[in-house]
């Protein structure tokens, strides 16, 4: 199969490209090499035989060129991270929203009907919660006053009791709570509209917390695992926000690449976009991750700060059953093995 991978020079995209090439697919990459992630003068690290186009998914002429002769698109290109502040909104909306719309319009012109979309668990907002009195309920928004006082658990919106987290299925209500999350959900909605209008089919892979070799380091948009690694390398303690009890599912980037390959080769739904969680199925707290990484690196010990970021959510833990059932995907890298390796994995240089 001839596949276009947008954002294929990025952290996750480059691993996806390698997985596709290893499986025998013919791969073309379109990547803008955004300066927020790629150092100036970066030469993409891509396997031999991969065609590279330096261009932006917002450029319709470049998209048309990239789509020539393509059988499927794997859309990884995006501006990632929570954002620094509200001033980031136009760039997030432009790259993630407009860029996806331009790509989908180009796919319709080129009659390309197969899509794998890189989505994210951030579309859920707060995860799934259960109250001992009121049952499954949406978590109330966390208030600054509570966070300032160290009360980090979201309360029941009906009775105010503390909630217990549960795994999030793909049909859970979607509730994006920051700029990045809103634009990732926008990508899903646009892709669903494309599928309905053209008869195409696609899979939206809702990545949970991805980590692994070649993560970008020391940028405002870096993932928490890379931030902790950079601190350890500098001899500083990893600084853990809140009380470290935030539940997440940390999934290795090679497993994410395998999920993309599984989605590419699965039969896509007709005239629809199907969402699948991509996760290990074995949750850990952010504090657990900081401790495991510090132990593997050889210290110093993590520091729990009590600080917080507006827009962060408390607990998001996936239910990975649909990906197993429909795509045949199950994560293979254990948390312990992955963190041991990540302690010495190469990171992408800071821009």
Ordered per-residue pLDDT tens for the chain, 351 residues: 999 999 999 999 999 999 999 999 999 999 999 887 777 767 778 999 999 999 999 999 999 999 999 999 999 999 987 665 788 899 999 999 999 999 999 999 999 999 999 999 999 988 999 999 999 998 888 889 999 999 999 999 999 998 999 999 999 999 898 899 999 999 999 999 999 999 999 999 999 999 999 998 876 556 889 999 999 999 999 999 999 999 999 999 999 999 999 999 998 899 999 999 999 999 999 999 999 999 999 989 999 999 998 878 899 998 999 999 999 999 999 999 999 999 999 988 766
Helix axes 60-67, 99-110, angle to 10 degrees: 40
Residue pointed to by tokens 């990025």:
10
Structural domains of the chain in order of their starting residue, each with its CATH number = 2-127+168-343 (3.40.50.720)
Q: Is residue 123 within 8 Å of residue 188, measured between CB atoms?
A: yes
Q: Quick count: other Cβ atoms within 10 Å of Cβ 250?
A: 27
CA angle, residues 237, 278, 347, in degrees to nearest 5: 40
Spatial distance between the Cα atoms of 204 and 192, rounded to a whole number of angstroms: 9
The dihedral built from the CA positions of residue 197, 207, 283 and 248, taken in this order, carries a sign that is negative
Spatial distance between the Cα atoms of 126 and 168, rounded to a whole number of angstroms: 10
Q: Which residues does 291 contact at the CB level (< 8 Å), separation at least 6?
A: 301, 302
Query: Quick one: how many helices (H) and strands (E) in the chain?
Result: 11, 16
Q: Is residue 201 within 8 Å of residue 113, measured between CB atoms?
A: yes
């Amino acid at each position: 199969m001839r596949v276009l991978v947008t954002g294929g020079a990025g952290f996750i995209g480059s691993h996806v490209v390698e997985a596709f090439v290893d499986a025998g697919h013919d791969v073309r990459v379109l990547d803008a090499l955004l300066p927020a992630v790629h150092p100036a003068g970066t030469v993409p690290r891509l396997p031999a035989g991969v065609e590279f186009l330096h261009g932006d998914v917002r450029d319709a002429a470049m998209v048309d060129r990239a789509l020539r002769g393509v059988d499927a698109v794997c859309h990884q290109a995006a501006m990632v991270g929570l954002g620094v502040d509200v001033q980031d909104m136009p760039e997030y909306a432009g790259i993630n929203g407009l860029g996806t719309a331009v790509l989908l319009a180009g796919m319709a012109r080129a009659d390309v009907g197969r899509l794998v979309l890189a989505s994210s668990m951030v579309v859920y907002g707060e995860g799934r919660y259960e109250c001992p009195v009121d049952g499954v309920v949406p978590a109330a928004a966390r208030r600054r006053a509570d966070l300032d006082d160290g009360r980090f658990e979201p309360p029941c919106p009906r009775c105010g009791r503390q909630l217990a987290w549960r795994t999030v299925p793909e049909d859970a209500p979607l509730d994006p709570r920051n700029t990045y999350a809103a634009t990732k959900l926008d990508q899903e909605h646009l892709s669903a509209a494309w599928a309905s209008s053209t008869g195409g089919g696609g899979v939206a892979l809702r990545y949970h917390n991805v980590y692994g070799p070649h993560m970008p380091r020391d940028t405002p948009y870096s993932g928490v695992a890379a931030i902790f690694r950079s601190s350890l390398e500098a001899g500083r303690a990893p600084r853990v926000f809140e009380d470290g009890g935030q539940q997440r599912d940390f999934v290795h980037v090679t497993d994410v690449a395998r999920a993309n390959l599984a989605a590419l080769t699965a039969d896509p739904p007709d005239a629809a976009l199907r969402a699948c969680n991509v996760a290990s199925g074995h949750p850990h707290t952010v504090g657990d991750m900081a401790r495991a990484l510090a132990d593997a690196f050889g210290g110093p010990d993590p520091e729990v700060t009590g600080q917080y970021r507006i827009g962060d959510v408390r607990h998001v833990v996936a239910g990975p059953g649909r990906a197993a059932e429909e795509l045949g995907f199950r994560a293979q890298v254990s948390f312990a093995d992955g963190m041991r390796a990540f302690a010495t994995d190469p990171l992408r240089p800071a821009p």
